[in-house]
Structure 1
């Protein structure tokens, strides 16, 4: 209950204070490339319930993809992906594309801190025991893995098969960190992880 109150309070304050910034980012996304301002994608939430996550769109809209661009079937971003727009590069580097998830927190689909929500395609690879534990809490905007894997796309770009590297190397480590968070979860830990996330973004 305390965690949910914490989430509602901070997400409400964040949405109110950041409204001018959110409006400015939306305008930049719209002017930079044709397509919707928001990117919405199905993710797996608490207890395995699906929900649609909110992000600012950072890639060219599907209808505007040109020849030779990576397949839309790949649900991870690898290296200098040509689908990413000019504004999208900045939003991803600064993590500003994640700000609309404050709405997901306010609605109760997410928490400020918790295991990052995955697409069903990769949740299918969760080992049964870890799946139950990791999905027992609301997914979060940030967590330990988000901080450790800030440059995940660069790491995957060095692999001969990025998706297999994600499934067999990156994902197991992320799940271990997520399980650790569930075991140690507390408001004080959430505050520390939020602070670490802000410092990591500012430092970058």
Structure 2
């Protein structure tokens, strides 16, 4: 927009109550005096990163500049009290969930044996990257064919043709994730956090996506903000989109946000909205 009047006059004349400052403008020809004049007249001045974060629930990784990461609000540090409370919460929830869901897990195992033979394995163990980049073995109910990775490691995708008939129901209702209660009890995972990825993929994604390694500063989770907001993705572009939500979660991580994510996850499980 070409202004024939000052920025202050323009905003007051048009009833503008907020100005979003784009990243490039912040670095170069920022009209500081006029923006300050607007601010003292009650007009909100907001950085584009904060605007996108507020409106979309994600952090625009491609727009981040180093000083924003250091000086922005959020990204609260871990401490002994917080870690202890997290452990108590996750362990208690895991034991309660185990007591509530063991009949479902027993029936699931029985169905898998009946449909695929009594020699077919029930569980699937796979190495994933956890807190601080440490690897661990994540346990799931096997939802794919035994030869699913005969051509090498592949990312899961929507309508994956490697999924068995029983596996389709397991994934739809997130039942395949229940054995990860064991990972929670062992301290490898929490109930809420970024989903852990395989080392083969992580090495490549760290090289190609800025700030990707920052998601390993918190424990991975059974469910997370990115899982609620973004579908299965099998490409690097999908991983970038999920990272935007993961960083939002890490920045705003709190007990209340965890509860919100868990409630929405329960809704997905109960109404079969899983992907």
What interval of TM-score do these two structures reach, taking the shorter chain for normalisation?
Answer: 0.7 to 0.9
Which 5+ residue runs of structure 2 have no aligned equivalent? 1-83
Q: Distance in 2 between matches of 1:134 and 1:78?
A: 21
Match of 1:97 in 2: 176
* Aligned equivalent of 1:31, options 101, 106, 114: 114
CA contact (8 A) 2:229 2:245 kept: no
Larger radius of gyration: 2
Residues 1:179 and 2:264 are matched in the alignment: no
Change (3 A) 1:21 1:202: closer
- What is the SS of the residue equivalent to 2:132? helix
Residues 1:82 and 2:161 are matched in the alignment: yes
Shift of residue 191 of structure 1? 0.6
Give the TM-score taking structure 2 as reference length: 0.63
Residues 1:193 and 2:274 are matched in the alignment: no
Give per-residue Cα distances to partners, 1:133-167, cap 9 Å, x unaligned. 211111000001111234x2xxx6xxxxxx5xx11
Shift of residue 58 of structure 1? 0.7
Equivalent residues in 2 for 1:70-149, closer than 5 Å? 71-124=150-203, 125-126=205-206, 127=209, 129-131=211-213, 133-149=214-230
Shift of residue 38 of structure 1? 0.2
Q: Distance in 1 between matches of 2:260 and 2:188?
A: 22
Question: CA-atom RMSD, angstroms?
Answer: 1.8
Q: Distance in 1 between matches of 2:99 and 2:115?
A: 25
CA contact (8 A) 1:40 1:55 kept: yes
- What is the SS of the residue equivalent to 1:84? coil
Shift of residue 77 of structure 1? 2.7
- What is the SS of the residue equivalent to 1:43? strand
Q: Distance in 1 between matches of 2:144 and 2:212?
A: 32
Which 5+ residue runs of structure 1 have no aligned equivalent? 157-162
Match of 2:62 in 1: none
CA contact (8 A) 1:115 1:142 kept: yes
Q: How many residues align?
A: 184
Q: Distance in 1 between matches of 2:158 and 2:180?
A: 24
- What is the SS of the residue equivalent to 1:18? helix
